[in-house]
Amino acid sequence: MKLYYISAFICTLLCAVRAMADNGLAPEVTDLNARDISFEKEREMPYLTQPVITTLPENKKDQLPVGALGKQSVREKAVFLYAKELARPSENPKNGKTDSLLIAHRGKLVFESYFRRGRANFPHYQMSITKSYTTLAVGRAIQLGYLSMKDLDKPVVHFLNDIKSGMLTPGADQITLHQTMHMTSGIRMSNKNIEEIILQPKLLLGQGHIQAYLQFSAPISPHPRLYKYQPSDPSITMQVLESVVPGSAKIFIKDELLRPMGISNYGWQEDVSGFPKAAAGASLLSRDMIKMGLLILSRGKWKGIQHIPESFLEIATSPLVQTNEENFYGYFWWSQTREINGKKYPIIQGRGAGGQFIFVFPSLDLVVAATAHNKGMGRMLKELPEALTQAF
C-alpha cells in the first residue's frame, strides 16, 4: 500500500511536470543579448507563474551530457519533495527565494528545475562563488604553462611589475599566491584608509588597486597568519593572472577557461582596476555551474582532456584552513564532511551570498547547483545534503 501511494505521488508530479514542459512556458528570456546580463536586469525579472521541472533534461549540445533521473521511486520522491519545498511561495527574505536547482549524477544532468526569477538562458549573478571560478582560471594558467605549481609559493610582487616596491608596508613583499588564495595574506586595512582610497578611483586603475592594498595595510605579520575572509586576496590573485597570461585575464578566461567547456552565455564585471572582478561579479547559467562542479568531480578533466591540473585541484579543494567547527577553506573552495543517518559524506562547495551554490559529493558521483535571491546564505547549506544524499 505504501509503495502504491509513493508511485501515485510521483505520477501526479510527473504529469504536472510534463504538462509544464509541453505548454511552451520554457523558462527562457527572448531576445537576450550581452547588455541584458546584469544583477540589475535580473532584479527586474518577473516571477515564473509556475515552476518548470524536468527529469529528462534537453540535450542542448552545450557540452553538458544529459540523462534521466530514473524511475526509482525513492529517488524520485526525495528529489521532488525537495523541489516542491523550494517552489513553495515564501515571503521570508532570508529563505524561500530559490530560482533554480539542477542535479548531475554519474556525469550527466538528470534533473533541471527553475522557479521565480530562474531562467534557462539567463546567467544568474554570482557573488563570492566568483572566487571559486577565479581559482579555476589560475589552474588553467598552470595547465597551459603560464604559471607553475612552484609559482604558488613565490611572492605576488614577483609577478606585478608596476608595483612601487619601496612604498609597500613591511612584510607585503612576502605575501604569496598560495596565501592569497586561502585568505591568509595578512592584509589589514583600516576603515579610514579605505574611505580615503575610494575617493581617488584613478589611483586604483591597473595595478594601482593592489598597490593600495599592499601600501596602506597595517604591517604584515610573519607566516603563519590568521585567516580573514576579505576582497583583497582574490583581487590580488586576479591581478597575478592578468600579469602572466597573454593578452588579458578577461580574454584568457573567455578563450581558455570557459570556451572549451561550451560556456559562452555569461557575464563578468570589471573591478575598479579595469580587470575582471574576483571577489564577486560573474554571471553564469545554472547549467554551466553544473559544468564547474563536474570539472571538480573529474579531477580537472573535461571531455577526457586535462583542463586543470589534478595536483592543483587537490590543493584547491583541500582543507587548508578550518574556519569554524565544521567548515574548511582551500583555494576559494569550501569543504566539509557531513554525517547524515550514520554515514559521512565529504562535500566540496562553491558558495555565494544570496544562495548561489555548487555542491560536489565525490563519494556519490553527484553534483548539485542552485541559484537564489535570498538575503544571506539561507538554509540550503544545511538542508540540501540532508534532503538529497539518501536519494543517491
Q: How many domains does the chain have?
A: 2
pLDDT tens digits for 261-303?
A: 999 999 999 999 999 999 999 999 999 999 999 999 999 999 9
Q: How many CA atoms does the CB half-sphere of 291 hold within 13 Å?
A: 22
Q: Write down the pLDDT at residue 73.
A: 76
Same domain, 330 and 183: no
pLDDT > 70? residue 25: no
Average pLDDT over residues 158-180: 97
Query: Per the domain annotation, does 246 fall within a domain?
Result: no
Indicate whether 344 belongs to any domain: no
Does 175 fall in a domain?
A: yes
Beta carbons of 360 and 297 less than 8 angstroms apart: yes
Asked if the structure places residue 139 within a domain, the reply is: no
| 80 and 174 together in one domain | no
Q: Is residue 111 in some structural domain? A: yes
Q: Which of 33-37, 60-64, 175-179, 262-266 has the lowest mean pLDDT?
A: 33-37
> What's the Cα-to-Cα distance from 57 to each of 69, 93, 96, 287, rounded to whole Å?
9, 30, 24, 10
- Considering the domain architecture, whether residues 106 and 198 belong to the same structural domain is answered as no
**Pairing mode of beta strands 321-322, 328-329:** antiparallel
Q: What is the residue range of 18's domain?
A: 2-130+255-339+357-391
Domain match, 280 and 333 both: yes
- Long-range own/partner contacts, residues 174-177 (CB < 8 A, 24 or more apart): 174/220, 174/223, 175/214, 175/220, 175/236, 176/152, 177/138, 177/151, 177/152, 177/153, 177/237, 177/240
Q: What is the mean pLDDT of residues 31-36?
A: 64
Same domain, 283 and 383: yes
Which residue among 206, 226, 246 closes a domain? 226
79-126 confidence digits (pLDDT tens): 999 999 999 998 888 889 999 999 999 999 999 999 999 999 999 999
* Cβ neighbours of 226 (radius 10 Å): 10
65 lies in the same domain as 151: no
Show the cell assigned to 299.
Answer: 579531477
Task: Clarify whether residues 263 and 212 are in a common domain.
Answer: no
Q: What is the mean pLDDT of the chain?
A: 90
Report if residue 282 sits inside a domain: yes
Of the residues 226, 243, 269, which one is the last residue of a structural domain?
A: 226
Q: Where are the beta strands (DSSP E) in the chain?
A: 52-54, 98-105, 108-114, 124-125, 267-268, 282-284, 301-302, 305-306, 321-322, 328-329, 334-340, 343-352, 356-361, 366-372
Residues 306, 279, single domain; the answer is: yes
CATH number for the domain spanning 329: value is 3.40.710.10
Lowest mean pLDDT among 10-24, 161-175, 187-201, 221-235: 10-24
pLDDT over 70 percentage in the chain: 92
Claim to verify: residue 166 and residue 208 sit in the same structural domain: yes
**One domain, residues 8 and 57:** yes
| Residue 232: inside a domain | no
Q: Would residue 234 count as lying in a domain?
A: no
- Say if residue 212 is in the same domain as residue 301: no
Pick from 43-47, 125-129, 130-134, 192-196: least confident: 192-196
Using pLDDT thresholds of 50, 70 and 90, give the confidence band for residue 200.
confident
Residues 71 and 163 reside in one and the same domain: no
Q: Is the separation of the CB atoms in 361 and 392 below 8 Å? A: yes
Using CA atoms, how far residue 282 sits from 165, 223, 277, 360, in Å, is: 31, 31, 8, 20
What confidence tens digit (pLDDT) does each residue in 306-361 have?
999 999 999 999 999 999 999 999 999 999 999 999 999 999 999 999 999 999 99
- Domain end point (choices 207, 226, 245): 226
- Evaluated on CA atoms 233, 236, 241, 242, the torsion sign reads positive
> Could you tell me if 289 and 118 are in contact, meaning their C-beta atoms sit under 8 angstroms apart?
no
Q: C-alpha cell of 323?
A: 574556519
In angstroms, the CA 352 to CA 127 distance is 5
**285 within 8 A of 123, measured Cβ to Cβ:** yes
Is pLDDT above 60 for 6?
A: no
What's residue 33's pLDDT? 64
The one-character DSSP state at 48 is P
